[in-house]
Every structure is written in structure tokens, then in C-alpha cells.
């Protein structure tokens, strides 16, 4: 335990100068007049212990604890309280357990808040509060007794007394730590909720990035395909250019040969020119003569040339106009051709688009119709199930009510039996009196008929109750059948939903795996999953980085060993798997597969139905090693099987529901029959109760003999029965029998009895 040792104050309220209060062993007291600051010492203790309420310090705000100044002294800006604790018993927490003394200091600066220190080290206010709470004390502790504190402890509520007991037991610190831990847990929960929101946002961003990654992958793959196609095109162009270059070289050789031949011809023409030069003088004379003639002809030609130029100018103008007309016509023809080509191209594109969209609306409408029908079916089944549950509950309540009424009628029947015995004894006594026998004849006849009606009504009631019990037993049987059918349908629907969600898991915008397009017969899922492994998860979309590509079948594919059956016989898969499946054989057993290992060709493999695999290169997988692909194929086959069984289960459920409805109607009819029989018994009992007092009334008034008068005078009847006792035994219609609803008596067959 820690003990107070010293309290030092500086600038705290009225203690403007540093003041030290030693707290020695034993009792330490402070005595002084009013206003000397005794209460300030207690408040200093509270304040250094971590008090955060200014009202507890008798101030409006926490800065009020700083010395505010007087006429002779200026105000202070800082207040400090240091509490020294004796820690020789090492009762302090571990982080402060080594020091013999603990100095807990709280310092406040005006408008800047408080600072806490323990042995010079900065700590939190919460650490100081927990330190004192562990020592069963604190700023709000009952150990600090102030004015009115005793009365408050005496008048404390149970919750406040509990705090007092916890403090006395030394567990206040545990509650403080628990409260702090709860606050931290709430903060952690808040952070987790924010983290969930962030995860949702990041997940949506991740989905968008997945789509972008898929588009980028598709773009990259298409770009590769385009580059490959361009390279192929350039190669073809280069090959064509090489062929054209060779042809041009051949033509150049031919042209060079033609040039040589023409050179020879030019030489021969030069020789002929020299020979012709010798004949030039004679020809010049002829030329002069001809020149005179030519002059005349030139003059005539000039006139003709002028006329010709005029005609040619007109012809040139005409030709120019014709050429412009032809150019305009050609331009219009080219525009018409371009328009026709664009129209043809647009028509082809429109036809392609229409062909691609053919059946789109029908498929969309059909899918919407199927979805609506499925939703309506689910709603109908849920409504029917709710109705059946409500009807079963109503039937159970009605059965319990009928059982209670049956118990009441059984007790009433017992009472009526006792009444009947009393009436039989009274009848025997009255028959002994001869003068009264004649007077009671009609009453006895009515009593006999009424008793017979009561017995018939009771027999009908027993028969109706037995039929009702049989109908209830039959209804319970049909209910059990209905519950079994409903449970089977529910389990089947739940399994279908789980398998559908499991098989449809993943991002639909990403590349669908090949396994979704594969169908395998039951029993061969493990064989196919082992034969293909994780490769069956690759997509068939060529835009994916890893994908299956459809190739034509192998023309020279090697045959499987004798005794092995191709796996493709039991598998329906896209053409991309044709080559792989053609080289996978199914053996009857592992021993048979091992015997055929030497006959395997490169690329071939053998599998068994239990999952064993032997490959051509010696790679072997033992039986029973189930893969995820095999499980997925089994789940898909199970889903198809459940879809096939769903209609049968729904039919059985409908039949069981109809049978239960019929049984329920039968129970209702039997219940109405039981109610009618009970009404008949009630009417017969009422008639019997009405006849018994009338018979006694007629016997009393018809008695004309002395024995009857003497019996009335003495109050005793036949057999020594006291009349008062007989009156006490007289049945009370309001207590022993149900009241009559209709005042007119009825016969057992339900018809009104004549008066």
C-alpha cells in the first residue's frame, strides 16, 4: 500500500507562496479559523489525484484554481501541486515500482491546460486516476470526507453503495480499466466499421480495375494479333515486290538488247546519209526553183494559215468546252460511284448488325419471363408454407380446445350418471307407493323416452368422438408425410441454391473457365479432373493471357492402347479439348493401366474412374487424390440431378399438401359432427333435468292418501330418506346441467316437443 507523505502547493488558490504540508505517521490535522484555506488542502488533494470538474473545485473553470491576485499581490499564471507517496512497500504499478517515493505533480498554466508527472516523467491523467483507483482512493473517493459527505453516504442509492463496496474491496481500479477497455473496444469496433466501408469501396474499385485489366489484356492480345497480321502482310508485300523486281530485271535485259539492235540500225542510217550528201548540189538547184514556187505557195499558205488559225481557235474553244463537260460528267460519275459504294457498305454493315441482334429481344423477354415465373413460384411456395403453418397452428389450438371440452363433458357425464342413480333410487321408492304409481305413469313414460334419447345421444357422441380421433390420427399421418415432403423439398432447394452460388462464384465480367462448358457423365468426374488438372480452369477466350485455343483434330494422331476407351465418350466439351480428350484413355483398373504403359505414345495418358493417372513419360498419380476440378464437376452433376428431381419433389409436396387438406377437411367435418352430438346430449340432459322436478311436483300434488300426507307432515319419504336431504339432493339446473338456450323442449331427433 502507498501512504501519503508530503503535499507541496505553489500558486494554488490561496497558497500563493510555495507551501509544504508534511503528513507523518499517525493522525495529521490542520486547525484554523474560517477562510484560512483548510478546504483548499482537500481540494488540492482531489486536484492532484486527477479531478477534472471545476465545480468540485468550487470554481467556474479549471483556471480558477490559480491564484487570482489581491490588492497587494499580482495574479499568478501557473499553479502546481505535488503529492509525495511512500512506496517502500512496492505497492505502485510496475513502471513506478522501483522508487521508494513517488512524486505525483500536476501543473496548470492559465489558458493552456494541465500537465501530469510522476517522478518527473510525463504521464496521462488516466494513469494518475488508475494509480489512485488501485489504492482504493481517488478524487471522488469516499475516503475524502467533506461537508455533507456522511449524509450522502447514509442516503446513498444501491448503485452508489455498490461503488462504495467496490472501492473498499480494492477493485475500483479494475472497473476503471474495464471501462477504459470498453471504450477502446468501442473505438476498435468503430474503426472496424470504417474499415468495412473502406473495404467495400476498395472492392468496388478492385472490380473496376479487374474490368480495366481484362480490357487491357484483351487490348494487348489484340495488339499482338494485329502486329502479327501486319508482319504477315508486309512479308507478303515483300515477296510480291521481289517477284516484280525479277520481272523488271528480265524486261531491262530485253530493253538493252533492243537498244543494241537500234544502234546497228543507226550506223546503217549514217552510211546511207553520206551517200545521199553527194546528190545535194543537184538537189539545191531544184530547191531554188522549187523555192520560188514555194514562195508563192507560202504566201497562199499564210492566208490559209490565218484562216486555219481562226478555225482552230474556234475548234479549240469548242474542244475546251467539250473537255469541261466531259470532266464534269466524270466527276459526277465518280461521286455517284463513291455514293453507291458507301451505300452498299452501309447496307452490309446494317445487315450484319441486324443479324447479330436477331433474337436479342426474344431472349431478353424469355429470360425476364423465366425470372418472373421463378420469383412467383418462390413467393407462392412461401405463401403456401405460411398458410400451412398457420392452419396447423389453428388445428392444434382447436384440438386442444376440443380436448378440454371433451374433459368437461366427461366430468359432466359422470355427474349425470350419479344423478341418474339417484333418480333410479327415487323411482324405486315412488313405485313402492301404490297410490302414486298411477299418477306417475305419464311422467315415467316421458322419463324413459328422455333417458333413451340421452343414451342415444351419448352413443352418437362416442361414435363421433371416435371418428374425430381417427380423423385426427389420419391428419397427423398426412401431416408427417407433408412435413417430410416439405423438408425434402426445402433441403433440395437449399442444396440447389448453395451449389448454384458455389458454381456461379467469381466475377462474371472476367474470362469464364473451360470447366463451365464441360459436361461429364456421373462417375467420370474424378477421372476427367485428374486427367486435366488445373488446366481445365483456363478460359477459352483468346483474349486471356492463358487460354485454350480451338485447333482442328490431329490427322496422324496415334491410337490408344488396346483395352483403353477414349475419355471423350463420356465427356461433352468444346472443340478446344478435342485433341486432349482423344489422347486420354480410361482403363478398368490401375493394374490394367500399368500393363498398357509400354504402349503409350508421346502425349497419351491413362486414367481410372477412381482418379489414378499414368502418363506416357512416367508421371503417375495414385487413386483417391481428388482435385478441385473433380469436385466442381461432381457438384455440377449433382446440380443437374437436383434440377431433375425438383419437379418430382414439388409434385410429391403438392400431393402431400392436397392429402393434408383433405384430412383437415375431414377433421373439420368430424369436429362439426362431435359438436352436433354434444348439442344433442346437452338438449337431452336439459330435458331430463326438466322432467325430474316435474315428476316430483306431480307426485307431491297427486298424493291423496294418508301415507303421503303423513310423509309430508313428518318430512320422511320411502326408505327413511329425509325430505330436506332429498331437497338438497335435488338437481340444480344452473349448477349440474347446461342452461337451455331455446325455451321449447326438444326430442332426441331435434324436433320441438309438443306442450
Query: Residue 167 has what pLDDT?
Result: 66
Cα 262 to Cα 239, 270, 570, distances in angstroms: 35, 13, 82
Give CA–CA dist 221/234, Å, rounded.
Answer: 20
The list of the chain residues with pLDDT below 50 reads 434-437, 439, 505-509, 697, 701-755
- Residue 695's contacts (CB-CB under 8 Å, 6 or more residues apart) are 440, 443, 444, 447
Query: Residue 508 has what pLDDT?
Result: 44
**Short-list 625, 597, 631, 600, CA closest to 611:** 625
Q: For the chain, how big is the Rg over CA atoms in Å?
A: 60
Percent of the chain exceeding pLDDT 90 equals 9
Give CA–CA dist 316/67, Å, rounded.
Answer: 122
Query: Residue 106 has what pLDDT?
Result: 94
Query: Residue 298 has what pLDDT?
Result: 81
- Residue 108's contacts (CB-CB under 8 Å, 6 or more residues apart) are 62, 63, 65, 66, 78, 79, 80, 114, 115
- Residue 711's contacts (CB-CB under 8 Å, 6 or more residues apart) are 703, 717, 718, 723
Q: What is the DSSP letter of 743?
A: S
Q: What is the DSSP letter of 557?
A: P
Query: Residue 60 has what pLDDT?
Result: 87
Cα 250 to Cα 236, 238, 245, distances in angstroms: 22, 19, 9
Percent of the chain exceeding pLDDT 70 equals 77
Give CA–CA dist 154/165, Å, rounded.
Answer: 13
Give CA–CA dist 699/295, Å, rounded.
Answer: 191
Query: Residue 235 has what pLDDT?
Result: 93
Q: Is 533 helix (H, G, I), strand (E, B) or coil?
A: helix
Q: What is the DSSP letter of 560?
A: P
- Distance from CA of residue 27 to its chain's centroid? 70
Q: What is the DSSP string of 293-326?
A: HHHHHHHHHHHHHHHHHHHHHHHHHHHHHHHHHH
Query: Residue 427 has what pLDDT?
Result: 72
**What are the grid coordinates assigned to 553, written together?**
483434330
Q: Is 7 helix (H, G, I), strand (E, B) or coil?
A: strand
Amino acid at each position: 500500500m502507498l501512504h501519503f507523505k508530503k503535499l507541496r502547493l505553489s500558486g494554488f488558490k490561496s497558497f500563493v507562496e510555495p507551501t509544504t504540508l508534511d503528513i507523518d505517521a499517525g493522525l495529521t490535522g490542520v486547525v484554523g479559523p474560517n477562510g484560512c484555506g483548510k478546504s483548499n488542502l482537500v481540494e488540492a488533494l482531489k486536484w492532484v489525484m486527477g479531478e477534472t470538474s471545476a465545480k468540485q473545485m468550487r470554481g467556474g473553470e479549471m483556471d480558477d484554481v490559480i491564484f487570482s491576485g489581491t490588492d497587494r499581490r499580482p495574479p499568478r499564471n501557473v499553479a502546481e501541486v505535488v503529492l509525495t507517496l511512500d512506496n517502500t512497500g512496492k505497492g505502485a504499478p510496475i513502471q513506478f515500482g522501483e522508487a521508494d517515493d513517488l512524486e505525483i505533480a500536476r501543473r496548470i498554466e492559465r489558458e493552456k491546460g494541465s500537465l501530469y508527472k510522476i517522478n518527473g516523467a510525463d504521464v496521462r491523467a488516466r494513469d494518475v486516476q488508475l494509480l489512485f483507483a488501485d489504492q482504493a482512493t481517488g478524487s471522488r473517493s469516499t475516503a475524502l470526507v467533506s461537508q455533507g459527505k456522511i449524509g450522502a453516504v447514509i442516503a446513498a442509492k444501491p448503485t452508489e453503495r455498490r461503488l462504495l463496496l467496490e472501492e473498499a474491496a480494492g477493485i475500483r481500479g479494475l472497473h476503471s480499466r474495464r471501462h477504459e477497455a470498453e471504450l477502446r473496444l468501442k473505438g476498435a469496433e468503430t474503426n472496424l466499421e470504417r474499415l468495412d466501408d473502406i473495404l467495400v469501396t476498395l472492392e468496388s474499385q478492385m472490380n473496376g480495375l479487374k474490368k480495366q485489366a481484362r480490357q487491357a489484356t484483351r487490348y494487348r492480345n489484340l495488339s499482338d494479333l494485329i502486329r502479327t497480321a501486319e508482319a504477315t502482310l508486309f512479308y507478303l508485300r515483300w515477296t510480291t515486290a521481289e517477284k516484280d523486281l525479277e520481272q523488271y530485271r528480265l524486261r531491262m535485259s530485253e530493253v538493252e538488247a533492243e537498244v543494241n539492235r537500234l544502234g546497228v540500225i543507226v550506223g546503217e542510217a549514217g552510211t546511207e546519209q553520206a551517200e545521199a550528201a553527194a546528190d545535194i548540189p543537184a538537189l539545191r538547184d531544184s530547191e531554188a526553183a522549187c523555192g520560188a514556187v514555194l514562195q508563192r505557195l507560202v504566201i497562199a499558205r499564210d492566208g490559209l494559215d490565218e484562216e486555219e488559225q481562226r478555225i482552230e481557235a474556234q475548234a479549240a474553244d469548242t474542244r475546251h468546252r467539250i473537255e469541261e463537260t466531259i470532266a464534269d460528267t466524270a466527276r459526277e460519275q465518280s461521286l455517284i460511284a463513291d455514293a453507291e459504294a458507301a451505300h452498299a457498305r452501309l447496307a452490309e454493315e446494317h445487315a450484319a448488325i441486324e443479324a447479330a441482334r436477331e433474337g436479342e429481344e426474344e431472349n431478353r423477354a424469355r429470360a425476364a419471363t423465366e425470372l418472373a415465373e421463378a420469383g412467383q413460384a418462390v413467393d407462392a411456395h412461401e405463401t403456401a408454407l405460411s398458410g400451412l403453418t398457420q392452419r396447423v397452428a389453428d388445428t392444434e389450438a382447436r384440438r386442444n380446445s376440443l380436448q378440454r371440452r371433451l374433459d368437461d363433458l366427461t366430468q359432466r357425464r359422470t355427474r349425470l350418471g350419479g344423478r341418474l342413480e339417484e333418480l333410479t333410487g327415487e323411482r324405486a321408492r315412488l313405485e313402492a307407493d301404490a297410490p302414486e304409481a298411477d299418477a306417475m305413469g305419464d311422467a315415467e313414460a316421458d322419463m324413459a323416452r328422455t333417458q333413451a334419447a340421452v343414451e342415444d345421444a351419448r352413443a352418437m357422441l362416442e361414435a363421433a368422438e371416435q371418428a374425430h380421433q381417427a380423423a385426427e390420427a389420419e391428419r397427423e399421418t398426412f401431416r408427417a408425410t407433408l412435413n417430410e415432403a416439405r423438408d425434402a423439398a426445402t433441403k433440395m432447394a437449399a442444396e440447389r441454391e448453395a451449389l448454384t452460388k458455389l458454381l456461379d462464384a467469381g466475377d462474371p465480367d472476367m474470362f469464364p473457365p473451360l470447366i463451365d462448358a464441360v459436361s461429364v457423365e456421373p462417375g467420370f468426374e474424378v477421372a476427367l479432373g485428374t486427367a486435366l488438372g488445373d488446366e481445365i480452369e483456363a478460359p477459352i477466350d483468346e483474349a486471356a493471357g492463358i487460354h485454350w485455343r480451338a485447333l482442328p483434330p490431329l490427322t496422324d494422331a496415334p491410337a490408344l492402347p488396346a483395352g483403353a476407351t477414349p475419355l471423350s465418350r463420356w465427356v461433352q466439351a468444346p472443340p478446344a479439348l478435342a485433341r486432349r480428350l482423344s489422347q486420354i484413355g480410361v482403363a478398368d483398373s490401375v493394374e490394367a493401366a500399368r500393363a498398357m504403359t509400354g504402349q503409350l505414345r508421346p502425349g497419351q495418358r491413362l486414367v481410372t474412374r477412381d482418379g489414378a493417372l499414368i502418363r506416357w513419360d512416367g508421371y503417375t498419380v495414385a487413386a483417391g487424390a481428388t482435385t478441385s476440378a473433380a469436385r466442381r464437376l461432381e457438384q455440377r452433376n449433382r446440380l443437374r440431378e437436383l434440377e431433375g428431381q425438383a419437379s418430382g419433389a414439388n409434385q410429391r409436396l403438392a400431393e402431400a399438401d392436397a392429402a393434408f387438406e383433405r384430412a383437415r377437411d375431414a377433421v373439420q367435418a368430424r369436429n362439426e359432427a362431435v359438436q352436433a352430438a354434444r348439442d344433442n346430449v346437452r338438449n337431452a340432459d336439459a330435458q331430463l333435468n326438466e322432467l325430474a322436478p316435474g315428476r316430483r311436483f306431480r307426485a307431491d300434488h297427486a298424493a291423496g292418501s294418508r301415507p303421503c300426507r303423513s310423509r309430508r307432515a313428518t318430512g320422511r319419504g320411502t326408505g327413511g330418506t329425509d325430505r330436506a336431504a332429498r331437497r338438497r339432493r335435488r338437481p340444480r339446473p344452473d349448477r349440474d346441467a347446461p342452461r337451455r338456450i331455446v325455451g321449447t323442449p326438444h326430442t332426441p331427433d331435434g324436433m320441438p316437443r309438443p306442450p
